[in-house]
A = this chain, B = another copy of it.
Amino acid sequence: MKAFFENDRFAMKAGVEIMEIGEGYATARMLVGPEHLNAVGVCQGGALFTLADLAFAAASNTQTETTVSLASNITFLRAVSDGYVYAEARRMADHHRVPFYEVRITDERDEIVAVLTASGYRKHKPQAGNGY
């Protein structure tokens, strides 16, 4: 599965690395560098979103089902401008069609940087094609 998500070109280019994938669970990280910064010198919200979204995808997709992100809510709690940020995605509810996940992003001191909650939409078909 890890190899599968490494086909996510946008996330890979952003420097996101998947660390762990379990049942309804995944972790990822990203080393914040100059290329992630916005106009005021802190990590762009889109970079943090990309990290969280990949962790969500890794936690929610399996070999037989595709879960796409439907609605995501992200709250930015702390600015970061360097160092690793870590995302931990966890399934909180397992509705057959619309599972719900929470992803917490923390920094190297384990302070919360952002929290994303995502409602997914589960499709019972193979992960292939341009599927969503």
* Residue A19 at the chain B interface, CB threshold 8 Å: no
Number of copies: 4
Q: Is the interface of A mostly helix, strand, loop or mixed?
A: mixed
Interface residues of A in 85-132 (CB under 8 A from B): 92-93, 95, 97-98, 100, 102, 112, 115, 117, 119, 121, 127-132
- Which of chain B's residues have a CB closer than 8 A to the CB of A4? 39
Q: Once the chains bind, are A73 and B73 in contact (CB under 8 Å)?
A: yes
Bound CA span A62–B78, Å: 22
Contact of A44 with B53 at beta-carbon distance under 8 Å, contacts A69-B76, A72-B74 already known: yes
Known pairs A98-B70, A119-B70; A93 contacts B112 (CB<8 A): yes
18 new A-B contacts, CB < 8 A, other than A75-B100, A77-B92, are A6-B39, A10-B14, A10-B44, A40-B128, A40-B129, A41-B129, A45-B49, A70-B70, A70-B76, A71-B76, A72-B75, A72-B76, A75-B117, A75-B119, A78-B93, A78-B95, A117-B117, A119-B119
